[in-house]
Chains A and B, each alone.
Chain A
Amino acid sequence: MSLFYVVALLSTFFALMTIFTKNPVHSVLYLVITFFTFTVHYILLNAQFLAVVNFIVYMGAIMVLFLFVLMLLNMNEDVEPMKSTLVKVMAVIAGCCLFVTVCGALHLFDTQTPLIEKDPSIGLVKNLGQVLFKEFLLPFELSSLLLLTAMVGAVLLAKKEPKRI
C-alpha cells in the first residue's frame, strides 16, 4: 500500500510537470515518465499484460510519434502561438467541469468496504482473452471497428490527391 502512495505521488508530480513545462519536448518527456508510473500501477494491480501493453503502445509507439512531430516542428517559447481569450475562457470552463465530475465520482465512491481481488491471475493473457472473447465480445468487436474506421480515415488523409490530367 505504501508503494502505491509513492507511485501515485510520482504520477501526479510528473503529470503536473507535463502541464507546467514551457518546452513542448520536455512536456512530452514528462508525459512518458507519467505513463511509466501508470505501468507500475498496473503491475501493482496484478495486471501484467495490461502493464506491458501500456508500456509498448503508449511509451514505445505513440509517445515516440508525438516526440517526432514536436522535434520536427521545433517549437519553443519564442514561437509559441498566442491563444485568444475565448480559448482560455473555454479551457477554464472545461477544466472546472472535469473537476466537478471527478469530485462527484469521488463522493459516490465507497471507500469503506475494502476491495478484495477474487482471482490474482485475472491479469494474465489467457484469462484476459477468455473474458474479452466471451463476456465482452460485442464491445470488443465494436471498438475494433472504431479503430479500423480511424485507420481508414488516417490513410485517406495521408494519401495524396491523384493528379488530374
Chain B
Amino acid sequence: MELSFVIEKFILVTIVFIVSLVVAMYSTLAERKIAGFMQDRYGPDRAGIFGLLQPLCDGGKFFFKEEIIPSGAHKTLFIIGPTIAIITACISSAVIPWGQELTIGERVISLQVADVNVGILYMFGVIALGVYGIMLGGWASNNKFSLMGAIRAASQSISYEIAMGLSIIALLMVTQSLSLKDIVAQQSGFVNWNIWVQPLGFIIFIVCAFAECNRVPFDLPECETELVGGYHTEYSSMKLGLYMFSEYINMFVSSALMASLYFGGYNFPFMNDLGLSPNWITILGVLAFFLKIFAFIFFFMWIRWTLPRFRYDQLMKLGWKMLIPLAIANIVLTGVITVLKDLYF
C-alpha cells in the first residue's frame, strides 16, 4: 500500500467524520427550530444569530456537567454502552459513496471510503451491532426502568431489521449487486432511480428506518410516563450526550442510505447534458446528495411533530403482521415482474 493512498483515505475519513459530527450537531438545532416553526414559535434564538451557536453551548454544557456512575451499576459495561453506540454510529458511513471520482492532476480520488463488495450487508451488520450499546447501557445501569427501556429498544430494532432486510432483498433483485457503489452508479440521471421500480420497498424501508433510529412514532424506548428516561435514565453529562449524538448520526447515515439506495445518491437530473467537466459534475453531485440527505432529515423531524406515537403492542403488530408480509409480497411481485420482463420484452 503506497503512502499517498493512505494519506488520501485518511483525509477522506477525517472529512466524513467531521461532516457527520457537524450534521448531527446542527440536527439538534434544526430539530428545535423546526419544532418551533411547526408550533408557531421561535425556537432557540439567543446564542448567536438565529441561535446558530446553540449546539456549541449544549456541547459545552454536556462536557462540564458532573459525571455520575451509580454505585450499583456495573462500571465497565456502563462506560462501554455509550462507547459502542457512538462507534457503531460513526463507522456505518464508511461504505456510502459520497460522490463520483475527483481528478486532481494525475490522481483519481474516489469519494467513497471503502468499496466493500457486500456494502449493504456491512451496514446491516453495524446497525445490528448498535443494539448492544443500548442493551449494555440499560443493563449496566442496574435500574428497572433502564432495563425495560433497553429491552424495548432491542426487541424493536430486531423486529424491524427483518422487514428492512426483506425490503432490501427486493431491491437487490433489481440492482443485482450488493456494492453500494454499483447500486448508485446504476441510477444515473432521473428515470433510473430505484424509487420508480421499488416504491413499496421504499415505504417499508423508511418505516423501518424510523424504527431503527428510535424516532417518533416509534420512540417507545424512552417514555417519560412509563419508563422515566428509558435506557439512559441513569446517564448524565457526556455519556448521555454520546447516546443522543449517536441517535442523530444514525439519522444522518440512514438518510444517506435511503438517498443512495432509492433516490440516486449523487445523481441528479440532466447531469450528463450540462456539458461540464467531470470534476464539476462530481462537486454538484455531492451537493445534490447532501440536499437529498437534508430533505430526509427534515422529513424525520416533520413526522416527529405530525404523528402521535404508537403503543408498544401496536408497534410489534405493525412490524410482524403488516410490514413483513408486505415485504415478502414485494419480493414475490418483483420476482414475477423481472421474469415477465425477461420473457416478453
Contacts and interface: CB of A to CB of B under 8 A. Distances in A.
B117 A48 contact: yes
A49 B118 contact: yes
Nearest to B121: A52
Contacts of A67: 132, 135, 139, 154
Interface residues of A, number: 20
Most chain B CB within 10 A, of A55, A60, A71, A72, is at A60
Interface string B126-137: 011101100110
Nearest to A60: B128
Contacts of A48: 116-118
Interface residues of B, number: 24
B324 interface: no
Nearest to B172: A125
Interface of A: prevailing SS: helix
A34 to B, nearest CB: 14
Interface in A16-70: 25, 29, 32, 48-49, 52-53, 55-56, 59-61, 64-65, 67-68
A32 B132 contact: yes
A64 B139 contact: no
A32 B125 CA distance: 13
B121 A53 contact: yes
Contacts of A53: 121
Given A64-B132, A71-B139, A124 B117 contact: yes
A125 B132 CA distance: 27
Given A48-B116, A60-B131, A61-B158, A68 B151 contact: yes
B272 interface: no
Interface in B103-131: 116-118, 121-122, 124-125, 127-129, 131
B155 interface: yes
Nearest to A57: B128
Contacts of A71: 135, 139, 147, 150-151
A6 to B, nearest CB: 19
A48 B118 CA distance: 7
A155 B131 CA distance: 25
A32 B132 CA distance: 10
Interface of B: 77, 116-118, 121-122, 124-125, 127-129, 131-132, 135-136, 139, 147, 150-151, 154-155, 158, 161, 178
Interface of A: 25, 29, 32, 48-49, 52-53, 55-56, 59-61, 64-65, 67-68, 71-72, 124-125
10 contacts: A25-B139, A32-B132, A49-B118, A52-B118, A52-B122, A59-B125, A59-B128, A67-B154, A68-B151, A72-B151
5 A-B pairs closest in CB distance: A60-B128, A55-B125, A52-B121, A56-B125, A52-B118
Given A48-B116, A53-B121, 7 more contacts: A48-B118, A52-B118, A52-B121, A59-B128, A65-B158, A67-B135, A68-B135
